[in-house]
A = this chain, B = another copy of it.
Amino acid sequence: MSLGPSGDAVISSLRVDRNSPIPLYFQVAQHLERGITGGHIPPGSLFENEIQLAVRLGISRPTMRRAMQHLADRGLIVRRRGIGTRVVQPKVRRSIELTSLYDDLRQAGEVPRTRVLEFAEMAASREIAKRLACGAGTPVVRMVRLRSTSVSPIAKMTNFIPSELVDFDASALEADGLYPLLRARGVHLHAATQSVGARTATGAEAEELEEGRHAALLTITRTTFDDRGDTVEYAQHLYAASRYSFETHLVSPVSGTIGTY
């Protein structure tokens, strides 16, 4: 099955802007993505070969290839040598990246609120120093936040950050969020290693998160690095499992699935 008249129109209607600061391949990729998610390029349909497409759009084949590769990396299309390029089914697509709690709640129409419970400098304990790859006693800021929906708390988030990276206060943290503040300070986040687990809540934790006794909590601990390889933060987050779970979407699950096969 080919692209069909509607999908054909999507491609024919594209005029790339060679004066735009947006790269050509990205203009093309975005246009095609809108055509796919908007339903004008139907699921299962087969694209023309990339050389014809390139000619029709007035760009070179490598540029066309890069646009298609971008869509393939994001899971919207599947390319097979000798066969062609096909649009995947809509239920497979969705947003592919791991989603964030904030986005999830926003999508559900909730506006998550954040309250800073603690924001204080301290000397790094041995445990924290190990996690942050700094010496014990190094000054760090410990910040504890409670994130809630309009109805009930969802997560208690504890972060440890070397004091030298912290040039903001609790109210700025509440207003802007942690990562934007770090970026504004010139910190380029690059990689993270995290551990996802679960355990039963302590009495105090259950109370803070308004959960019952023996409630299960989702736990995430994370160490984040900047692009110079320096450790930026160590975080311990607790989620009320009865009210929250993480949706994640993966492409090529053979190599990327959490857990077992």
Seen from chain A, the residues whose Cβ lies within 8 Å of a Cβ on chain B are 43-44, 75, 78, 80, 86, 88-94, 96-98, 100-102, 133, 147, 155, 157, 177-180, 183, 189-200, 214-220, 222, 224-225, 227-231, 237, 239, 241-242, 244-261
Contacts and interface: CB of A to CB of B under 8 A. Distances in A.
Contact of A229 (B92, B255, B257): B92
28 contacts: A44-B228, A80-B227, A88-B225, A88-B228, A89-B230, A91-B225, A96-B191, A155-B260, A179-B254, A179-B261, A180-B261, A183-B254, A191-B250, A191-B253, A192-B250, A192-B253, A193-B250, A194-B250, A196-B196, A197-B245, A198-B239, A199-B216, A199-B241, A218-B218, A220-B259, A222-B259, A239-B259, A248-B258
B258 A190 contact: no
Contacts of A227: 78, 80, 86, 88
User: What is the copy number of this chain in the assembly?
Assistant: 2
A237 B111 CA distance: 31
A91 B229 contact: yes
A153 B245 CA distance: 24
A178 B260 CA distance: 9
Interface centre among A75, A94, A183, A192 (most CB of B within 10 A): A192
Given A191-B250, A200-B200, 16 more contacts: A78-B190, A89-B230, A92-B190, A97-B256, A100-B259, A147-B260, A155-B259, A189-B253, A192-B253, A193-B248, A196-B218, A197-B245, A197-B246, A216-B216, A222-B257, A237-B260
